[in-house]
Amino acid sequence: MKQTVGSEQAIVLGGSMAGLLTARVLSNHFAQVTILERDAVHDRPESRKGQPHTRHLHGLLGGGFQIFNHYFPDLVETLAQSDIFFGDMGENMNWYTHGGYRRPVHTGLYGATMSRPFLEYQVRQRVLALPNVTLWDNCAVKQLLTSPGGQQVRGVLLEKRGEDGANTSLDADLVVDCTGRGSRTPQWLKELGYEAPPESEVKVDIGYASRLYRRDPHDPRGQQWTLFTPDAPGETRFAGIFPIEDGRWIISMGGWGGDHCPGDEAGFLAFARSLPALDIYNIISKAEPLSDIIAHKMPSSLRRHYEKMARFPQGLLVLGDAVSSFNPTYGQGMTSAAMQARELDQLLAKRPSLQKLAPAFFKRAAKVVDIPWQMAVGEDFRFATTTGPKPPGTDFINRYVAKVNRASHHDAVVSAAFLQVMNLLAPPTSLFHPGVLWRVLRGGKTAAAAPTYQPVQSITQTGHHV
């Protein structure tokens, strides 16, 4: 008789977004799910010590938004009633790239802009309201507990901080590592006599700085989201400003290859003024700052290829940034984690054998990660300073995507097709569909493309924006 995945206890390592989504999925299949979080967790939106990136601009792509809506059906109503942008992502974008603004277009892709702590808090409330999910905070996981010989993970050894400091063991049928880029699973595997997973690393030397500003709730610019992305290799700087909860703006600005945004007042404003359009500068030069300027650096994108491992212990999985952490400027992290969690849900519904669970899941997770990874590192290789394994055909694809970007200034069909790909709702190959290809090669200058949309100048001249 085959040994199937148990239905009693599952443990999730890490209480951030990937961990919360995983716990939600596991609640469908296990009698008890316990989330172990290293930091203290309070009943409010917050950025914890172990989450340095949560203070910066975040985006939930359309593909991720649909998955969140599936697992948390009342989340949309909460977001719609909040003081944030909520609406069609294509109709409400103000996105400058490759010398112009993408043409706004109705997509049916609903999105919202909010701080990462606010979104995580909304998700955490809903996950912890489930009767079979528990969160233990201030828990440091010391090691995995295994069967003799290390072939099966049976739980974890943890230290509950703030108490007597004694170690406690917690048994489980399944342990899922969602601790992010700093995951200790590769080291634990070596300690158990396994090989560490092969890695792919693409060095990008991204650095950016972020700040919060007060936003006038009557400012019509708060009904849009704004991005500036560079026309590489000639340009290296990017920026984004989103309206978020509590009447605030959040802005992040930075660049590739060491062209990082300064952390001082004058340098921060000068960086905003150096962008190809003044939308962001016109807001922050007049708005009241509500936070310090916070810097963050991301030296590389990192992918761990668990799907390539010949041996892996039973009862253990790895998910989210612990599998692949992308260049964060593309906003793919939360959506990739959500897609991986959905694959886990669908796989567990088939009641796979414990022996086959990890290989089957890592194969599915790899397919999820393949597209955003190729999109992110391919885009990064437009910059001469990027180094690492370069996907075949990258230069050809980048030349074509540059034409797509320029055609999207005028052509609604091309603009909509690009947004579908960017939101991980359509494969990049869809941009080569004949109905898109001929429009791109014509430069988007078709009869259906007029009129040209020019939001930034008119908006900034009237004191409006985002």
Average pLDDT of the residues in 29-57: 91
**In-domain check, residue 212:** no
Give residue 120's pLDDT. Answer: 95
Residue 452 has pLDDT above 60, yes or no: no
- Cα 161–162–163 angle (5° rounding)? 95
> Per-residue pLDDT tens for 357-378?
999 999 999 999 999 999 999 9
**Whole domain around residue 356: which residue ranges?**
9-76+117-200+300-377
pLDDT over 90 percentage in the chain: 78
Give the Cβ contact number of residue 3 at 10 Å.
10
- In this predicted structure, which of 212-216, 419-423, 446-450 has the lowest mean pLDDT? 446-450
- Each residue of 390-410: pLDDT tens digit? 988 999 999 999 999 999 999
Amino acid type, 269: L
Q: Do 101 and 226 touch, CB atoms closer than 8 A? A: no
Output the six-digit token pair for 170: 């917690």
- Say whether pLDDT at 16 is over 70: yes
pLDDT of res. 85 = 83
| Residue 256 domain-assigned (yes or no) | no
Q: Is residue 140 part of a domain?
A: yes
Residue 426 domain flag: no
Closest CA to 344 of 3, 12, 106: 12
Give the model's pLDDT for residue 182: 94
Q: Which residues contact 360 (CB under 8 A, 6 or more apart)?
A: 347, 352
Please give the pLDDT value at position 112: 87
Residues 258-268: what's their mean pLDDT?
A: 96
Residue 68 lies in a domain: yes
Beta bridge pairs of residue 135:
35
| pLDDT score for 160 | 87
Neighbours of 447 (CB within 10 A): 5
> Residue 453 has what pLDDT?
30
Q: What is the mean pLDDT of the chain?
A: 90
Q: Write down the pLDDT at residue 447.
A: 38
What is the length of the chain?
A: 466
Task: Indicate the pLDDT class of residue 73, thresholds 50, 70 and 90.
Answer: very high
Q: How many domains would you assign to the chain? A: 1
Q: At residue 254, what are phi and psi to the nearest 5 degrees?
A: -175, -160
Give the per-residue pLDDT at 444: 53
Of 164, 166, 158, 264, residue with least CA distance to 209: 264
Query: Has residue 365 been placed in a domain?
Result: yes
Residue 250's alpha-carbon distances to 17, 80, 85, 208, 418, in angstroms, are: 20, 19, 12, 13, 25
Tens of pLDDT, residues 45-60:
999 888 877 888 888 8
pLDDT band at 82 (very low <50, low <70, confident <90, very high): confident
With bands split at pLDDT 50, 70 and 90, how would you rate the model's confidence at 457?
very low
Q: Find the distance separating the first CA and the last CA of the chain, reported in whole Å.
A: 60
Mean pLDDT of 270-286: 96
pTM listed for this prediction: 0.91
Phi, psi of 285 (to 5 degrees): -70, -15
Tell me, yes or no, whether 360 lies in a domain: yes
Which residue's structure tokens are 């309201």?
129
Residue 349's pLDDT band, with cuts at 50, 70 and 90, is very high
Residue 406 lies in a domain: no
Specify the CATH number for the domain of residue 57.
3.50.50.60
| Ramachandran quadrant class, 151 (left: phi over 0; alpha: psi -120 to 50; beta: rest) | alpha
What per-residue confidence (pLDDT) applies to 413? 96
pLDDT score recorded for residue 157: 96
Q: What is the pLDDT of residues 188-223, one digit of tens each?
A: 999 999 999 999 999 999 999 999 999 998 899 988
**Tokens describing residue 172:** 């489980």
